[in-house]
Structure 1
Amino acid sequence: MEQLRAARADEARALTALVLRSKAHWGYDARFLAACAPQLALGPHEVTARRVVVAEDGRGAVVGLASLEPEGEGEGERARLGLLFVEPAVIGRGVGRLLYRDVLRRAAARGVRRLLIDADPHAAGFYRAMGAVAASGAPEGLVRFEVAPVPLAGWARAWTGGGRAVHVGNVAEFNAQFADASLDREQSAAHHYASLAAFYSPEPAALVLPRRVPTGWPVLVGRQLGWGEVEVFDALAESGPGLSRAVRARPALAERLTGAGLPLVPWGLTEPFGRLAGRPWQPRELRYESKSASHDLFARILAGGGHPTIRLPEQWRPATRGAAARLLARRAAAGAGSVLKSEHGVGGSGVTVVTPERLRSAGGARALLRRLPRGPLLVEEYVAGPAAGEPGGGLRDLTYDGFVDGAGDVHEVGAAVMDVADGGYRGATVGPGVVPAESERPLLAFGAAVGRELAAAGYRGWFDVDFVTDGAGGLAPTETNLRLTGPAAAFMVAARLDALRGAEHFVRIVDRVELGARLPDGQLEELCGELARACSRLGAVFVPAVPTAAFEPAPWLGVLVAALSRQGLDAAEALVRAEALAVGRPFADGR
């Protein structure tokens, strides 16, 4: 692994020679290189003035350099990446990426808001892939790019204290404590989604996973997100919900994970995780994970006033399923839609939208209920959304994400747009302006109010508040989740990419991308590498988020895509979906 350090004045001649060797790599003749030499040469006094940093290989040999230079007189909000050259023998091995990211980090630390890059045409593809945006005004023979350096978001620094963390993928363990009948007994989906542990903070030190993951998967994800070395401890609980117990049953592993002094970040709080992390367990912290309890919480907040554009859907709690059937029938007869909810369903499990038409086609309310899992049900008013073509017609399901830190302070993360079909979550998009200001302002205010109530109740950790929009542009809160979620992973990746590539990234997490064929590890890694390269050519980023379902009977892949525009994001998602389906084509064609 290459290491970076400040260049020394006595290296100026050797560094100039490296620059010229790197320039010659592109096939320029001796005459052209001689003409360029005065502009590319480094004098001893310039090494410090131009803030040159070098990359050394494992033997101490210098294999690349980059400079961060003032633009104009003195320090300011503008700067220039003056030099970025890599020894020809190691081009393509990530040295340029390492140097480029270091320049952005240093620029952000100095308050630079606009970094200019005048690139050799042969390097244009590299800068585009790294997130730089084409700009006008380049000198003759060069290509100009700009980038907006930013430090890691304040909320992301506060989440894990600004450092790396141990991520514990205890999704099944979290779900199991609620004994919800809408969740399958084997928790197979939860074991797949445990792979989202890779994104529980912007940079993990270790991943603790119940199911075995492909060995190349964390390497590819780490390359895309600029991680250092990440330890992976997988296959610890291939079936059943006992991940934290499985770690504690391995004392050496437990000591390794807890003894390094790094924060342990779970999907959600549980009693076994509390024992592993040495964190006192208080079951009451999670009481607002209950959909009826969260509804009561929303009602108390709204009773205090201050949220005029927030309306609370009515909710009923039938004592029996027969009573639920009668209530559904009465509402359908009046032309009203309803939403059936289990008390603790996750990701849309246990949620059924019941329209009068659906009730008739099912053969009545009792017939419909017989098809649903056993257990208590809540009946909630269905809030009709804006019609297509109306203002806000494309925004139906929104979410607020935030967290309560150890001191009880609430940190706002942001608002996201969710992709939800028939009550089931399918993905989310985060980024600048994805939620219009007229919806974002009341959403953030209400989410923060919920956070304060959670903090007062003793909860510490990540939470979200989900909303639907109504036909009048209002917001209706539907539930809280006291755990990490898919949108949380998207926010983490957006914060990391902003720091690595410049502001402001749009990130979309897609729950399931259908694969055209079942893929063993080697073929899956090959596909993911191809998708990463194809998205890079678009200036976008592809990150495989859930790799473990690629060999299921109906194979699929969870993914994250990122870009600097909504158009780029849509193009990257379309490319990924098409290529993922195409892997089955040779079999379908009989080749």
Structure 2
Amino acid sequence: MVKVRAARAAEAEALTGLVMRSKAHWGYDAAFLAACAPELRIRPDEVTARRIVVAEDPQGTVLGLASLEGAGPLATLGLLFVEPSAIGQGVGRILYRDVLRRAVQQGVRRLVIDSDPHAAGFYRAMGAVAEPTGPAVAAATAGAADTADAADTAGAVHSADRSGRLVRFEAAPAPLADWARAWTGGGRAVHVGNVAEFNAQFGDSSLDREQAAAHHYSCLAAFYSPCPSALVLPRAVPAGWTDLVCRQLGWTGVEVYDGLVERGPGLADAVRARPALAARLTGAGEPLVPWGLTRPFGLLTGRPWRSGELRYESKAAAHGLFERILAEGGHPGIVLPAQVRAATRWSAARLLAARARAGKSTVVKSEHGVGGSGTTVVTAGQVRAAGGARAVLRRLPRGPLLVEEFVEGPPDPGAARDLTYDGFVDADGGLHEVGAALMDVTAGAYRGATVGPGVVPDWAEKPVLAFGAAVGRELAASGYRGWFDVDFVADAAGRLAPTETNLRLTGPAIAFMVAARLDALRGAGHLVRIADRVELGARLPEAQLEELCADLARSCADLGAVFVPAIPTGAFDPAPWMGVLVAAHSPEALDAAESLVRAGAAAVGAMFDAPASAAP
């Protein structure tokens, strides 16, 4: 394993030789290299002053070097060179990330990089943002020529200006967000993918018995905190998937325990049935983070189980909570849709029919349900077309139903409609605000979410954060401890209507976790989008799925974006799909990355298309 250490003054001459060999790797002629030599020379008295570090292999061979020059808040990546024989081994990535880490420690908030044109793709892939003005200064007059790992320079400028003019980039070093440090104490955590176990405790008829979707969704355990030490999963996952995820998010030493549950939802019980595994996971002194709290998880971790702790997971109980908060005043931008709990199917049919006769749409909900399961929007026209309200209800899951007023959205189809607040209550009852996100919801079903700076419109952000915090305080007072969210829909007048709480991790929570990790790893300001379902054009063998994901990662890196396959196991379903995360520093790059991923996923079936018949 490559490690980074401080360079020594006695190494100055050898390091200068490495720099010149690395620069020559790109084919510059002798005259150009001679002109650069004075600026690229490392003198013994500069090693400490320029904060030079080296990357070395287990045998002590130096493979590359980097320098961090200047003082906060503005500093420069002065040198980043890799030994030609080590190019393609990830050394440049390790050195760059070390520079960002040290920059954060020294209070740097703006890091300037004058890159060799051949390395421009590397810095773009690492999250640095190119200045729009283009090339900076000639390499012969700059003390900051960079050459980096060719395997990480998918977007390199291969037709570079032979003068070696430098391309200026900037990065914004950032510490891990305060809330992310509070979530797991700033360290690594064991992630337990107990999605099906959480769902099963509610006995919700809107969820299928086999919990197939829940087992797929358990793959999101990879992202339950910004830095996992172990993943505990019910079903087996491709080994190449975890390797790529770790590479994209800079994780090392992540242990994977998968295939623990052949049938049913009992992941925590399956771990407890393996005493050696249970002892390993609980005895390391690291927090265990579940999708949601359950009695079996409490037994595994020794956490007291409080049966009423999850009562506001109920949509009816949450509605009552919202009503009490609004009755106290202080939330003028929030309105609450009327909701009635139907005692019988017949009473639900009467309520639905009455609203349909008035030309009104209705939201019919099960008491529980995840990701929009058990939530159905019914229009007046649908009631008429079905032959009446009873016929509509016969198609819905059995069990208690909530009949709720439908909130008409903004007239502009591109306006923000579905939003969410995420936060958590720590073990001491303290509330931590994570933020607000924009969700993609179609016909009541959650499809994905986007988090990051500027995603939530200014008019909506303040009321979302204020009301979400009020809900969090009530949850804390009720004894709940853990992650939660509050979902909202916007109405035609620009007001927000809260619709439910979720007392567990969610898709937007995963996007927040990844954004926090990428900000610390690549620089502040990431937009992250999670898309639950990206259709694949064909079912692929495991090796070909890994190849597709690696190709998508490289193509997104060309855009300065990050691709992370979030749910790989859906790729082996009869109708194949996968969940994905994409991240970028701009909305344009984020949209381009998502489009690229969707097109690439759809295109995998092209190789199986039958050739057109030849004309007679």
Fold in common (TM above 0.5): yes
Residue number in structure 2 paired with 1:4 = 4
Check whether the contact 1:171–1:191 (CA below 8 A) recurs between aligned residues.
yes
Q: Contact 2:449 / 2:529 at 8 angstroms: preserved in 1?
A: yes
Instruction: Measure, in 1, the Cα distance between the counterparts of 2:387 and 2:411.
Output: 28
SS at match of 1:4: strand
Counterpart for residue 335 of structure 2: 311
TM-score (normalised: structure 2): 0.94
Aligned to 2:391, what secondary structure does the other structure show? helix
Q: For each residue in 1:44-87, what CA deviation from the matched residue of structure 2 results, as whole angstroms up to 9, or x when unmatched? A: 111110011111112121111110000xxxx3311000000111
Q: How does 1:106-145 map to 2 (within 5 A)?
A: 106-135=102-131, 136=133, 138-140=136-138, 141-145=165-169
Q: Determine the C-alpha separation between the residues in 2 that align with 1:226 and 1:423.
A: 35
1:582 maps onto 2:603 in alignment: yes
Distance 1:23 1:486 in 2: 44
- Given the alignment of the two structures, is residue 522 of structure 1 paired with residue 543 of structure 2, yes or no? yes
Tell me, yes or no, if the aligned pair for 1:310 and 1:442 is still in contact at 8 Å.
yes
2:88 to 88, 92, 107: 92
Q: Which residue in the other structure is 1:14 paired with?
A: 14
Q: Indicate the SS of the match to 1:589.
A: coil
1:289, CA displacement in angstroms? 0.3
Q: Give the superposition deviation at 1:483.
A: 0.3
Query: Quick check: 1:35 aligned with 2:35?
Result: yes
- Cα distance in structure 2, aligned partners of 1:24 and 1:529: 29
1:284-295, aligned counterparts within 5 Å? 284-295=308-319
Q: What residue in structure 2 maps to residue 506 of structure 1?
A: 527
Q: Distance in 1 between matches of 2:535 and 2:29?
A: 50
Q: Which residue of 2 aligns with 1:399?
A: 420
**Aligned with 2:108: secondary structure?**
coil
Bigger Cα displacement from structure 2, 192-201 vs 13-22 = 13-22
Letter in 2 for 1:249: A
1:231 aligns to 2:252 (yes or no): no
Percent identity between matched residues is: 75
Three-state SS of the structure 2 residue aligned to 1:416 is strand
Q: Which residue of 2 aligns with 1:441?
A: 462
Shift of 1:510: 0.3
Deviations 1:102-157 (A, max 9, x none): 11111122221211001111111101111111114711211111111111111111
Deviates more, 1:8-17 or 1:512-521: 8-17
SS in structure 1 at match of 2:47: helix
Q: Which residue of 2 aligns with 1:205?
A: 229
- Residues 212 and 238 of structure 1 are in contact (CA less than 8 Å); yes or no, is this contact kept in structure 2? no
**Amino acid corresponding to residue 139 of structure 1 in structure 2:** V
Matched with 2:45 is 45
Match of 1:148 among 172, 186, 196: 172
In structure 1, what residue type is equivalent to 2:350?
R
- Counterpart of 1:486? 507
Letter in 2 for 1:217: W
C-alpha separation between the residues in 2 aligned to 1:584 and 1:302? Answer: 52
Q: Which runs of 5+ in 2 are unaligned?
A: 139-164
Which residue among 182, 189, 209 is the counterpart of 1:185? 209
Please list every run of 5 or more consecutive structure 1 residues that lacks an aligned counterpart in the other structure. none
User: More displaced, 88-97 or 550-559?
Assistant: 88-97
Conservation of the 8 A alpha-carbon contact between 1:81 and 1:116: yes
Q: Please, which of 386, 401, 406 is the counterpart of residue 362 of structure 1?
A: 386
Out of 492, 497, 500, the position equivalent to 2:518 is 497
Shift, 1:179, TM fit: 0.2
Q: Secondary structure of 1:167's partner?
A: strand
Q: What amino acid is aligned across from residue 438 of structure 2 in structure 1? A: V
In 1, Cα distance between the equivalents of 2:20 and 2:545?
40
State the one-letter code of the partner of 1:10: A
TM-score, normalising length: structure 1: 0.98
Report the CA distance between 1:590 and its aligned residue: 4.2
Amino acid in the other structure paired with 2:420: T
Deviations 1:560-588 (A, max 9, x none): 00111111111111110111011001112
Secondary structure of 2:191's aligned partner: strand
What are the Cα deviations for residues 230-273 of structure 1, in whole angstroms up to 9, with x where unaligned?
10000001321000000010001101111100000000000000
User: Partner amino acid for 2:470?
Assistant: A
Alignment equivalent of 1:384, drawn from 395, 402, 408: 408
Provide the rounded CA distance (Å) in 2 between the counterparts of 1:265 and 1:371.
37
Measure the CA separation in 2 of the matches of 1:361 and 1:48: 78
Question: CA offsets, 1:491-528, max 9 Å, x none?
Answer: 01111111111110111000000000001210110000
Alpha-carbon distance between aligned partners in 2 of 1:486 and 1:331, rounded to the nearest angstrom: 33
- 2:438 is the counterpart of 1:417: yes
How far the C-alpha of 1:31 sits from its partner, in A, is 2.3
Q: Aligned with 1:549: secondary structure?
A: helix
Aligned counterparts of 1:9 and 1:384: Cα–Cα separation in 2? 69
Give the corresponding residue for 1:470: 491
SS of the aligned residue for 1:310 comes to: coil
Tell me, yes or no, if the aligned pair for 2:416 and 2:457 is still in contact at 8 Å: no
Amino acid at match of 1:457: S
User: Which of 393, 417, 426 is the aligned partner of 2:447?
Assistant: 426
CA distance in 1, matches of 2:57, 2:309: 49
The answer on whether the counterparts of 1:289 and 1:482 sit within 8 Å (CA) in structure 2 is yes
Q: Deviation at 1:345? A: 0.7
Number of aligned positions between the proteins: 584
1:345 aligned partner: 369
Distance in structure 1 (CA, Å) of the matches to 2:109 and 2:319: 43
Q: Secondary structure at the match of 1:584?
A: helix
Match of 2:148 in 1: none
For 1:583, what is the secondary structure of its paired residue? helix
